[in-house]
Amino acid sequence: MPDTGARGRGDEPEPVTPQQQAEETQAVDDRRLLRSQYLAVKGLISDEKDEMASADSDKFCSIINRVESLHQLVQRPREQIADAETLLDLTASLVASVRSQSVLGITPSDFIAGLLKKFGKKGGSNDNVSLDWARLGLATSRVFMSASGCATMIGPMTTEVKPRRVCIRKKRTARPHGNACPEQLADPSEKTKSDTDKNMSAIFDLLRRKKSARLEHIILNRTSFAQTVENIFALSFLVKDGRVEIKVNDQGHHFVYPRNAPVASAVASGDVVYNHFVFRFDFKDWKLMKGVVPEGEELMPHRSSQTIANTGGNNPTQSEAPLATPSTTIRKLCRNRGLILQDELIATGAYGVMEQEMLAMGTNDAMEDEMVAAMGVTEAMGEKRKYKRKRLFQDV
């Protein structure tokens, strides 16, 4: 569980007295000394692993008693991790010693000694021990009962000619021509509620109705290991905020109770103290928890992907008909495109100037003269365009 305070944002921390500072310094020194002792025990395990594996040695008992005495002083997560690492090194050294002793198996001398012990016979006081081959053959006859031969199938095999597969090619579909409408994003100014906040609210509402519940009944999701981890994550935030309390009863079961969050002054004065611990949980623990909790007694419901998608954020409802977007012009890749566009712009400008002059003059004669001039300009532009195209094709 994360180690954070419950102090408000606007509250200022109270000053620390010299006595409190001295006690904190002493606690830090004690924890550092405890970790150094664990490190010394790990070095002792590495040095004495051969002697510890022998049957007539009490080195293992002395080491495990020392680890147990150090375990009584563990209070914080760092020391708890050091204790777990020491036990892991002790277990690994014992497993390695057992494997090294059983790696050779039965040696030839052990095999001969076993044969002489079971099938040996002694004729006289000066005769060597010989084997009773009749008894040995009778004991091993079952191994040689089956005659060696070729393991074949009974009857002919079916030799059917498999037809060649016909390759069917998919038809190429035409490329889409529709207009694409981009998805409208949510307004960043609006605060959305995350999935963790929703899980926290669901757990707290459940505890408020039930008043108390067992820990494994709250966090277990029988059909999803990932959602079980999410429930543990949401419950850790409730514990950090002081809204949930975990207690152990006389039978060793963990029960969860809803509580009101403490005020910042109570935390600063020391009236309210948080106790934190490291919670280990993996896939094997989830399998064991499924066997402990009876089926149907899980309190947190399963969250399907469709439900999460519908409640994931405040997405605005979009209209069924997509908005029409202006289509972009297709750019033609030809060598004389720039010349054609330039001529069109010149002709359009000439027409605009002539229309303004005709409106200003307001006479029919002026309109006829300007129309003749416009026709002349158009013909001149056409001749010029033909000449430029001809020159471009000659260059090619």
Q: What angle do the packed helices 77-101 and 59-71 form, to 10 degrees?
A: 160
- Are 302 and 213 within one domain? yes
Q: Domain end: 36, 66, 101, which one?
A: 101
Give how many domains the chain has, as a whole number: 3
What average pLDDT does range 276-288 have in this prediction? 82
Q: Kindly state whether residue 109 falls inside one of the protein's structural domains.
A: no
For residues 128 and 339, which has the higher predicted lDDT (pLDDT)?
A: 128
- Are 297 and 343 within one domain? no
Q: Domain end: 59, 84, 101, which one?
A: 101
CB 63 within 8 A of CB 51: no
CB-count burial class (<10 Å; 0-12, 13-18, 19+) for 388: middle
- Check pLDDT > 50 for residue 3: no
Q: What is the pLDDT of residues 71-93, one digit of tens each?
A: 998 888 888 999 999 999 988 88
- Check pLDDT > 70 for residue 344: no
- Are 276 and 205 within one domain? yes
Q: Which residues of 170-188 are buried (b: 16+ CB within 10 A; e: fewer)?
A: eeeeeeeeeeeeeeeeeee
Q: In this structure, what are the phi and psi dihedrals at residue 372, rounded to the nearest 5 degrees? A: -65, -40
Q: Kindly state whether residue 170 falls inside one of the protein's structural domains.
A: no
- Are 204 and 289 within one domain? yes
- Quickly state the pLDDT bin for 201 (edges 50, 70, 90): confident
Q: For 100-104, 287-291, 297-301, 364-368, which range has the lowest pLDDT when averaged over its residues?
A: 364-368
Q: For 55-64, 232-241, 367-376, which range has the lowest pLDDT when averaged over its residues?
A: 367-376
Residue 196 CB contacts under 8 Å (≥ 6 apart), including other chains: 230, 233, 234, 237
Q: Kindly state whether residue 378 falls inside one of the protein's structural domains.
A: yes
Cα angle: 249, vertex 250, 255; to 5 degrees:
15
Q: Kindly state whether residue 164 falls inside one of the protein's structural domains.
A: no
> Which of 4-13, 37-46, 105-114, 141-150 is most confident?
37-46
Task: Name residue 120's beta-bridge partners.
Answer: 131
Q: What distance in Å separates the CA atoms of residue 220 and residue 300, rounded to the nearest whole number?
A: 7
What average pLDDT does range 232-246 have in this prediction? 85
Reference 280, options 90, 72, 81, 68; nearest CA is 81
Q: What distance in Å separates the CA atoms of residue 210 and residue 217, rounded to the nearest whole number?
A: 12
Residue type, 320: E
Q: Kindly state whether residue 58 falls inside one of the protein's structural domains.
A: yes
Structure token pair of residue 81: 């991790």
Average pLDDT, the chain: 73
CB 130 within 8 A of CB 123: yes
Reference 210, options 257, 260, 245, 247; nearest CA is 257
Q: What is the pLDDT of residues 366-395, one digit of tens each?
A: 555 555 555 665 666 666 565 555 544 444
Q: What distance in Å separates the CA atoms of residue 259 and residue 357, rounded to the nearest whole number?
A: 88
Q: Kindly state whether residue 274 falls inside one of the protein's structural domains.
A: yes
What average pLDDT does range 5-28 have in this prediction? 60
Q: What distance in Å separates the CA atoms of residue 204 and residue 243, rounded to the nearest whole number?
A: 8
- Are 364 and 279 within one domain? no
Q: Kindly state whether residue 328 falls inside one of the protein's structural domains.
A: no
Question: 239 is in which domain, residue-wise?
Answer: 195-308
CB 1 within 8 A of CB 235: no
Q: What distance in Å separates the CA atoms of residue 108 and residue 115, rounded to the nearest whole number?
A: 11
Our measurement of the distance from residue 218's CA atom to the centroid of its chain's CA atoms, rounded to an integer in Å, reads: 22
| C-alpha dihedral sign at 223, 226, 229, 230 | negative
Q: DSSP states of 117-183 as a string? A: HHHEE--SSSSPPEE-HHHHHHHHGGGG-SPP-----SSPPP-PPPPPPPP-PPPPPPPP-SPP-PP
Q: Kindly state whether residue 332 falls inside one of the protein's structural domains.
A: no
